């Protein structure tokens, strides 16, 4: 799978620089921390990162050095190109405005190009938000925004540590949850999607996680007649999102 690497404007380095950025409210996609750091400042920084709920990865120093040869002090933080939204606020606002919530949940989609293309489709379709996991998702850097043709500046993205919790919350608030998967035998056009709706899409390699599949109300598949039995996830997103939009427009 191809990934777009971070540009020099996408990250900060240095322990104190990252601490002050967090205190100032800067949003990070992930923070790389050198393994086995033992100094007090590093321990303080880790505590602040954990309290802020920012994803982090413990990595060898060689990985940090490949990103920058400057004095990173064992910390490199990848800056988010957006401000994350609250799923609670999104759902409440949709209902209060008389709209049926229309949400996209992305499970383990890590490719920046696919993520950007999906965000572009979701924004064009007028979806209310995209939900991603804090870990195991594509980083929303400037490259992701560019790939989305700027859509990520217009559609809210909600990040949560546990997608199962989010899906449960959506169901409790009246949303019907469709898992779009080739493991189903029920075509998506035979499912009633004209209702408060959340669509789950998974990574091409592993699909939707078993935990998220179990929480779905229905599993639907996109009919495929060729020899290749699966679609690129961004193409699948376009098909299922616009099938839901088609059904909504029939009123």
CATH number at residue 241: 3.40.1280.10
Greatest distance between any 2 Cα atoms in the chain: 63
Per-residue model confidence (pLDDT) at position 9: 52
Q: Are 115 and 1 in contact (CB under 8 A)?
A: no
Indicate whether 75 and 91 sit together in one domain: no
Phi then psi for 229, rounded to 5 degrees? -95, 10
Cα–Cα dist 179/155, whole Å: 21
Per-residue model confidence (pLDDT) at position 206: 86
Length of the chain: 251
**Among candidates 44, 36, 4, which has minimal Cα distance to 20?**
44
- Is the residue at 213 inside a domain? yes
Phi then psi for 133, rounded to 5 degrees? -85, 150
The pTM assigned to this predicted structure is: 0.88
Indicate whether 119 and 174 sit together in one domain: yes
Per-residue model confidence (pLDDT) at position 229: 79
Indicate whether 47 and 100 sit together in one domain: no
How many domains, the chain?
2
Indicate whether 74 and 91 sit together in one domain: no
How far, in Å, are 3, 188, 249 from residue 246 at the CA level? 33, 12, 5
The residue segments making up the domain with residue 105 are: 87-248
Per-residue model confidence (pLDDT) at position 8: 44
- Is the residue at 3 inside a domain? no
Cα–Cα dist 199/41, whole Å: 43
Indicate whether 52 and 148 sit together in one domain: no
Indicate whether 102 and 143 sit together in one domain: yes
Indicate whether 74 and 95 sit together in one domain: no
- Is the residue at 199 inside a domain? yes
Show pLDDT as tens, one digit a residue, over the chain (251 residues).
333 344 445 899 999 999 999 999 999 999 999 999 989 999 999 999 999 989 999 999 999 999 999 999 999 999 999 999 999 999 999 999 999 999 999 999 999 999 999 999 999 999 999 999 998 899 898 888 999 999 999 999 999 999 999 999 999 999 999 999 998 999 999 999 999 999 999 988 889 999 999 999 999 999 999 988 789 999 999 999 999 999 998 86
26: how many CB neighbours lie within 10 A of its CB?
15
- Is the residue at 2 inside a domain? no
Indicate whether 130 and 172 sit together in one domain: yes
Among 53, 79, 105, identify where a domain stops.
79
Indicate whether 100 and 164 sit together in one domain: yes
Per-residue model confidence (pLDDT) at position 3: 38
Residue 233, SS3 per DSSP: helix
**∠ CA(79), CA(81), CA(86), 5° rounding?**
100
Among 79, 100, 131, identify where a domain stops.
79
CATH assignment at residue 68: 3.30.1330.30
């Amino acid at each position: 799978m191809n990934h777009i690497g971070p540009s020099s404007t996408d990250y900060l380095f240095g322990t104190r620089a990252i601490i002050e950025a967090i205190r100032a409210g800067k949003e990070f996609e992930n923070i790389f921390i050198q393994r086995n750091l033992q100094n007090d400042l590093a321990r303080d920084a880790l505590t602040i990162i954990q309290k802020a709920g920012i994803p982090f990865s413990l990595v060898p120093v060689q990985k940090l050095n490949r990103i920058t040869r400057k004095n990173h002090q064992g910390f490199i933080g990848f800056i988010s190109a957006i401000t994350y939204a609250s799923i609670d606020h999104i759902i409440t606002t949709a209902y209060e405005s008389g709209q049926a919530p229309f949400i996209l949940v992305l499970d383990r989609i890590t490719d920046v190009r696919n993520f950007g293309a999906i965000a572009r489709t979701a924004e064009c379709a007028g979806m209310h938000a995209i939900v991603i996991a804090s870990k195991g998702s594509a980083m929303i850097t400037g490259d992701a925004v560019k790939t989305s043709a700027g859509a990520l500046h217009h559609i809210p993205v909600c990040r949560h540590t546990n997608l199962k919790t989010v899906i449960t919350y959506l169901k409790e608030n009246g949303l019907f949850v469709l898992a779009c998967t080739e493991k189903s035998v029920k075509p998506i056009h035979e499912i009633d999607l004209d209702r408060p709706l959340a669509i789950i899409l998974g990574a091409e390699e592993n699909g939707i996680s078993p935990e998220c599949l179990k929480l779905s109300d229905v599993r639907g598949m996109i009919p495929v007649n060729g020899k290749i039995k699966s679609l690129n996830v961004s193409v699948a997103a376009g098909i299922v999102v616009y099938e839901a939009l088609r059904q909504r427009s029939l009123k």
